[in-house]
Amino acid sequence: MNFVSDVSGTPLARTHHAFTSIVKRNFELQHEDSGRSTRHIELTLPEGIHYQEGDHLGVLPQNPSELTERVLSRFNLNGQDYVNLTGDSGSAAHLPTGKPVKLEELLSNHVEFQEPATRSQIRALVTHTVCPPHVKELEDLLLDNTYKQEILNKRITILDLLEKYLACEIPFERFLALLPPLKARYYSISSSPLHNEGEASITVSVVRGEALSGNGEYKGIASNYLAERSQGDKIACFINTPQSNFQLPKQTGKPIIMIGPGTGIAPFRGFIQSRRALKEKGETLGTAHLYFGCRNPEHDFLYQEELVQAEQEGLVTLHTAYSRCPGQEKHMSRTD
């Protein structure tokens, strides 16, 4: 099986039995006036990988270079240098220990940098800070209300604090050990294997906006990583079948109601593709109602053309609700 270079050997990839898929298409679903971004990403799966409608795609993202550069710069390190980490399989289980690893690779693929600083991280910074006024300021952050208001609500990270408190001399390896492991992110698969076996698509709302910290722009790790992939790029991922039995009923004649605002439409697009394939095979389909909501149909009615087409083919009855149509009350309608 193929793997994305650099990610293949990570403990995260091994835990999830990750494989490599190739980006076939990646395009914007929102109208340019919407001010937001939702990407439709089609992936070619390697041979032998199967999924069913309603499954999730787990994605192993990589931290962007803006973020890893901040760490390298704060610790005055060179991303091209190699380090050899030692540690046990407990606290360091998510880190590549016992072999030389390039710093850039280590920072891109193994740890989260954007989680709010924990109390134990702040305590560690206190221990390694020599300047008494800064020690006091850091200690104050541990007080219940201050911690909530200044750290949790603003999502201030340990990296933000290190950049503010330059007198803190925490060693790099200690900093690294304090960071949580990089997490896989899940996306509902928005296609049906009956439509195109060997391919899967996802529908990704890109997390981007003014940072709650007041410090520039906040960019979600996985959604931006995915949004920036181009045709031919490799993505490390895995298929996850939810335990909730979120699937089309086995008896095709059973009626179904689907409710999916925004990117919640994703699995239902797969369901509708499946219904089309089943209908073409001569199966009798029960009725299907889809309730979809968005802000304004001119901006963010995802897959509008496809859904209207599916309704014309008798595959689904659409019900829509719009929350931000200028001059109109919030309303819901049936499109017929």
Ligand X SMILES: Cc1cc2nc3c(=O)[nH]c(=O)nc-3n(C[C@H](O)[C@H](O)[C@H](O)COP(=O)(O)OP(=O)(O)OC[C@H]3O[C@@H](n4cnc5c(N)ncnc54)[C@H](O)[C@@H]3O)c2cc1C
Q: Identify which of residues 178 and 222 has a Cβ nearer to ligand X in the complex.
A: 222
Does 212 help bind ligand X (rule: CB under 6 A)? yes
Strands 199-205 and 82-84: unpaired
Does 68 help bind ligand X (rule: CB under 6 A)? no
- Tell me the window of 98-106, 121-129, 200-208, 278-286 that interacts with ligand X (CB under 6 A): 200-208
Q: Identify which of residues 224 and 320 has a Cβ nearer to ligand X in the complex.
A: 224
Residues numbered 257-316 forming contacts with ligand X, rule: CB under 6 A: 263, 266
Does 246 help bind ligand X (rule: CB under 6 A)? no
DSSP letters spanning 89-112: TTTTTTS--SSEEEHHHHHHHSB-
Contacting residue, 155, 195, 234, 289, with ligand X by CB under 6 A: 155
- Tell me the window of 23-31, 158-166, 215-223, 318-326 that interacts with ligand X (CB under 6 A): 215-223
Among 117, 12, 15, which Cα is nearest to 60's? 12
Does 3 help bind ligand X (rule: CB under 6 A)? no
Contacting residue, 77, 131, 177, 211, with ligand X by CB under 6 A: 211
* 211 CB neighbour count, 10 Å cutoff: 15
State the Cα–Cα distance between residues 159 and 133, nearest whole angstrom.
19
Question: In this structure, what token pair is assigned to residue 193?
Answer: 């294997």
Among 61, 77, 67, which Cα is nearest to 160's? 67
- Tell me the window of 19-27, 73-81, 216-224, 327-335 that interacts with ligand X (CB under 6 A): 216-224
Residues whose CB falls within 8 Å of the CB of residue 86, separated by 6 or more in sequence, listed in order: 97, 98
Give the distance from CA 294 to its chain's centroid. Answer: 20
Contact 125, 170 (CB under 8 A): yes
Does 71 help bind ligand X (rule: CB under 6 A)? no
Q: Which residue is nearest to ligand X (CB)?
A: 220
Question: In this structure, what token pair is assigned to residue 93?
Answer: 């289980």
Q: How far is the CB of 18 from ligand X (least distance, A)?
A: 16
Q: How far is the CB of 272 from ligand X (least distance, A)?
A: 15
Give the residues lining the site for ligand X (CB under 6 A). 56, 61, 114, 155, 185-188, 203-205, 207, 209-212, 218, 220-223, 263, 266
